[in-house]
Each structure stands twice: as structure tokens, then as C-alpha cells.
Amino acid sequence: MKLENKVAVITGAAQGIGRATALMMAREGAQIVVADLQGEKAQAVANELKEIGAAALSVAVDVASEASVRQMAEATFERFGRIDILANIAGTYFPKKSVVDLTEEDWDRTMDINLGSNFLCCREFVPAMRKQKSGRIIGVASGIGHYGMRQFSHYAASKAAIIGFVKSLARELGPDGITVNAICPGSANTSMPRQHRSEEEVLERLRSTPLPHILEPEDIAGSIVFLASDAAKFVTGQSYDINCGNYMFG
Amino acid sequence: MSQVALITGGGGGIGGAVAQRMAQAGIALVIADQDGAAAERVKREINAKGGKADAMTVNATVAREVKALVADIAKRYGRIDILANVAGGSAYTKRIEEFTWAQWKEVVDANLKATFLMCREVAPIMRKQQSGRIMNTASNYGVTGSALRTPYAASKAGIITFTKSLALELAPDNVLANTVAPGPTDTPRVMAHESPEARRQRWWPNIPLGRTALPEDLAEMYYFLTTPESAAITGQVFHVNGGVVMP
């Protein structure tokens, strides 16, 4: 198993890419903190993980709140005593608005949840990783951070910022043996795009990629697990696009 | 039936490590190298450990040799699931005005043309199978450029865009093509020209993870790109360099 006895904190783990990552890491032997704003759903995922024999703790967390993230870290250390992997997957997509219609609150909320959460979670967990001279941090950005998207300028800016954050943190933490990378998913078969598109539109978009392959949460999780594993110990500061060939920026 | 992989430059360095990593995963290997004796050594090592490897000699810059190699493999194995083009490199560091036309062509052919010739022969086989994974090898210099290495950097940049185009072309047939971009890596060829201490002084302070790469670090990325976990990835560039370049 690739992650035997590793402790992984996964935010946004109640659904979609986060849940797929939790399941895949659990199957690879990791112990998982299932963190999500939706506490009940997080508990349900933790139960799924226990059913496959993994140790799991669910934590209800608001990743945009200093106090809440601190409590998540305390709960992690109390239960598992360490952290090896931090996957910052929690994020938000909304509202869909033109730049001129975006309120300051809209902007702040997106930045706090998507970008601020990366900062807050890293700030809480990095000292422990530094002490043990090892650790893996994976941020989830988005292809939209590279490509941009009409009526989602706040989202695109927050995701592009994650890439800059990851590169800087990779430089800062490299000497301590900690790697920091980003994954940039394309539009995946999750509930998120269905919040503003019809089922038909979602499927049409998923099928319109060069590869005849529907981008599933497991496709993203596979790369997150790779970056968390020993196999990727010399990879840091990178942002990998996973999008069935939809765009190629690297 | 196990998967079949063709690895160019498999006789040592990064290619040799790629061969070893894939053999560990139970993949049958054809190790192709210009240095037939080196390919033979890697083959023997793998087979001694219970792996399954063949060795073949090829100059990948010569179209008819590449054609014959791929035809031979197709005949023996009936399929090619994985193509890792690792052969390449450059023996020159010099100013642009000192490069002869022959030297320029030598470097561009060893990297870019060899990659083209191999892909041209293998792509139809993968298309027919409706599956395949191609990994080409660039360099961080293909993105950043490198003084005194103009043909090398140009050919590596060419490989990145060649691979993206190939990825688009082959995607409808479920054939994936990606580029792996090594940074400074301790291969025997490089180490023959620089002492470990000189290398340490030159590179380590500039690399966030504090060391140069080992061929095994790269091999893990090539292997990942053959697995089901990477089934949605095509046309991308994967830098494995300890953070020395973050494009």
C-alpha cells in the first residue's frame, strides 16, 4: 500500500473529489480526517472509510475561519498525534456573476474559502510537518485558474492564486523535506457544475474533451494520491492539469 | 497477458531506471538503446530478478532502423502498450556561433527527430488497439531555455509541443501522450563530466528540495503515467526537479 500508516487531513471530503480522495487514500492504508463544512455528510464518509477498515475521524470545519481550522488541527493531533498529508480540497464556485455585479462580499467569500483556506490550513499543520521533517501538501486549484472563465472572475482569481501560493510554500518548505503541489482539475463529473447547469449541459461538456473519457472524481484523486505517495518525493512546486486533454498549458 | 513497453535509451540513466520500475510492476519490456551492450546489461539484470525483458539495438534517429525495430516488436509481441522515449541528450555546451550545422542537426535529431520517428511507427499500433500510453522526455530547459545549449533547449521545447499535438491527434483513439521534464539528474553520463562535489555546489543551493534528482525519482513519474490512475491525463508536462523550476 502506498500510504500505510500515514495520517491525511482532507478538507471538502464529504463529497466529490474530496470524498474520492478519502476513499482512495484509505484503501492505500492512510488514516483519514474527513473535514467538511457539512458535518453530517463528513460523518457518513468517515463511516464508509471505517467499513473498509480505515481509521477515520470526521470534523465539521469552516475552512475560512481561523478558529474552526484551529479546532480541526487540535482534533487531528488529539486523535492521531501527527499529520503526513494535507489535501486542501474544500472550495466554492459561486455566485456566477459578471465582474461589475460582484459584491465585495461575493469576492471576499470566494477568496476566503478557496485561497484563505489554503493559508489557514497550512499555517496550522506546517509546524508539525517541519518538526518531523516530512509532509505532503496538495492544493486543488483549477484549469480555470489558467484559462479563465466568463462570470467566474473571482473563482478564477482565487484558483490562480492557489498556484502562486503553492509555489512559494514549496520554496519555503523544501529544505524541511515537505513537498507542496497543486492539482488543476478540468470540469469533473461532480455535483458542483450541476448547481448552475442542466444535466444535459453538464454531460455535453464532460463529453466534449479530446479523450473519450468522462472526468470522474477518481481521476483527480489518483493524482492527489500519487503526489501524497513516496513515488512523488522529488516533485514540488508543480501544478498538474488533469482534464482529458481539454487544455495544455504546461 | 502483461503489458508491453518499449523504452528507448533504456540501457542506463533515466531510461534504465524506467525499465526497472516498469519491470517491478510486471510489464514486459523491450529495452532499446544505441548502445546494444548497455541494453543487454539492463535486460539481464531485469530477467535475473524475474522480470521479462528483451534488448534491442537501435539508432533512433534513423527512420529505417526505427521502422524495423517496431515491426520486429509487433511481430514478437503482437502489441505495444507503452512507449517511453527517453533516448536523447546533448554533448555540446557552446556559443551559437560555434555550433556547426552538423552539430545542430545532431542534437535536434537525437531529441526531437528520434521522438517523432518512434511515435510515427508506434502510434498506428496503439490506434488499432484503441489504447496506449506515450511518454516523451523534455527537460526543464525546454521551458526556461539554457545559455550555450540552444539546439538542446529548442529540441526539448519542440518535444513538449509535438507531444501536445500528438495527444490531441490520438485522444479520440484513447491513446494518451504526455511529457516528462527532468531537471538536473544524476545520470552516469552527467556524472562522468562533473564531480559529485562540484555538482553539489552548483545545484543544491538552488533546489528547494536540496539535492539533484536520481533516475529513480523520474522513473516513478513515467510509471505513474502508465497506470489507470492517470487515465484522464493527456498532453501535459510533468516536471520532476525538486522545485528548481516551477512553470
A142-168: average pLDDT? 96
Report helix, strand or coil for B40. helix
CB A224 within 8 A of CB A183: yes
Tell me: the pLDDT tens digits for A120-131? 999 999 999 999
Residue B214: its pLDDT value, please?
98
Q: Residue A118 has what pLDDT?
A: 98
For residue B220, the chain A residue with the least C-alpha distance is A231
Q: Which pLDDT score is estimated for B143?
A: 96
Average pLDDT in the A70-82 region? 98
ipTM of the complex model: 0.93
For A199-225, the pLDDT digits (tens) are 999 999 999 999 999 999 999 999 999
DSSP string, chain A: -TTTT-EEEEETTTSHHHHHHHHHHHHTT-EEEEEES-HHHHHHHHHHHHHTT--EEEEE--TT-HHHHHHHHHHHHHHHS--SEEEE----------GGG--HHHHHHHIIIIIIHHHHHHHHHHHHHHHHT-EEEEEE--THHHH--TT-HHHHHHHHHHHHHHHHHHHHHGGGTEEEEEEEE-S-SSSSGGGTS-HHHHHHHHHTSSSS----HHHHHHHHHHHHSGGGTT--S-EEEESTTS----
Q: Is A21 on the interface with B (CB under 8 A)?
A: no
Number of domains in chain A: 1
Q: How many Cβ pairs within 8 Å bridge chains A and B?
A: 111
**Would an 8 Å CB–CB cutoff place A207 in contact with chain B?**
no
Terminal Cα distance for chain A, rounded: 30
CATH of the domain at A28: 3.40.50.720
Is residue B222 part of the annotated active site? The answer reads: no
- Kindly state the average pLDDT of the residues B195-209: 95
Which of B179, B230, B239 lies closest to A222 in CB terms?
A: B230
- In degrees, rounded to 5, the angle at the alpha carbon of residue B221 between the alpha carbons of residues B215 and B223 is 100
A223/B229 Cβ within 8 A: yes
Nearest to B220 among A167, A232, A240 (CB): A232
Which of A212, A234, A243 is facing B213, going by the closest CB pair? Answer: A234
Domain assignment of residue A246, yes or no: no
Q: How far apart are CA A216 and CA A218, in angstroms?
A: 5
Tell me what percent of the residues of chain B surpass a pLDDT of 70.
Answer: 100
pLDDT at A195: 87
Q: Specify the pLDDT at position A250.
A: 76
Residues of B with CB under 8 A from a CB of A: 160, 164, 167-168, 171-172, 174, 176, 179, 207-210, 213-214, 217, 220-221, 223-224, 227-243, 246-247
Residue B1's pLDDT is what? Answer: 74
State mean pLDDT over A7-26.
Answer: 98
Residue B208 and residue A226: Cβ atoms within 8 Å? no
Is residue A247, in this structure, part of any structural domain at all?
no
**Which homologous superfamily does the CATH classification assign to the domain defined by B4-240?**
NAD(P)-binding Rossmann-like Domain (3.40.50.720)
Domain range for residue A223?
Answer: 7-240
Dihedral angle, C-alpha B158, B160, B166, B167, nearest 10 °: -170
Whether A16 maps to a domain, the answer reads yes
pTM: predicted TM-score of the whole model, two decimal places:
0.96
> How many whole angstroms separate alpha carbon B179 and alpha carbon A248?
11
For an interface test with A, the pick among B175, B216, B222, B236 (most A C-beta atoms closer than 10 Å) comes out as: B236
Please write the tens of the pLDDT for every residue from B123-163.
Answer: 999 999 999 999 999 999 999 999 999 999 999 999 999 99
Q: Are A222 and B209 inside 8 Å of each other by CB?
A: no
What is the pLDDT confidence band of residue A192, given thresholds at 50, 70 and 90? confident
> Would you say residue A94 has pLDDT above 90?
no
- Share of residues in chain B with pLDDT > 90 (%): 98
Average pLDDT over residues B194-209: 95
Average pLDDT of chain B to the nearest whole number: 97
Asked whether the beta carbons of residue B243 and residue A171 sit closer than 8 angstroms, the reply is yes
A236, A240, A243 ranked by CB distance to B209: nearest = A236
Amino acid, single-letter form, for residue A141: A
Which among A93, A147, A155, A247 is annotated as catalytic? A155
What are the chain A neighbours of B164 within 8 Å (beta carbons)?
Answer: 248
Instruction: Work out the minimum CA distance from A9 to partner chain B, whole angstroms.
Output: 21
Question: In chain B, what are the domain boundaries?
Answer: 4-240
Minimum Cα–Cα distance from B174: chain A residue: A211
| Residue B73 banded pLDDT, cuts 50, 70, 90 | very high
Q: Which of B149, B129, B12, B142 is nearest to B82 (CA)?
A: B129
Which residue of chain B has the CA closest to A134? B209
pLDDT at A164 (0 to 100): 97
Pure H helices in B26-130: 36-48, 63-77, 101-108, 114-129
What are B14-39's pLDDT values in tens digits? 999 999 999 999 999 999 999 999 99
Catalytic hit among B77, B92, B141, B152: B152
Query: How near does any CA of chain B get to the CA of A163, in Å?
Result: 10
Amino acid identity of B77? Y
| Residue among A28, A63, A238, A241 at smallest CA distance from A137 | A238
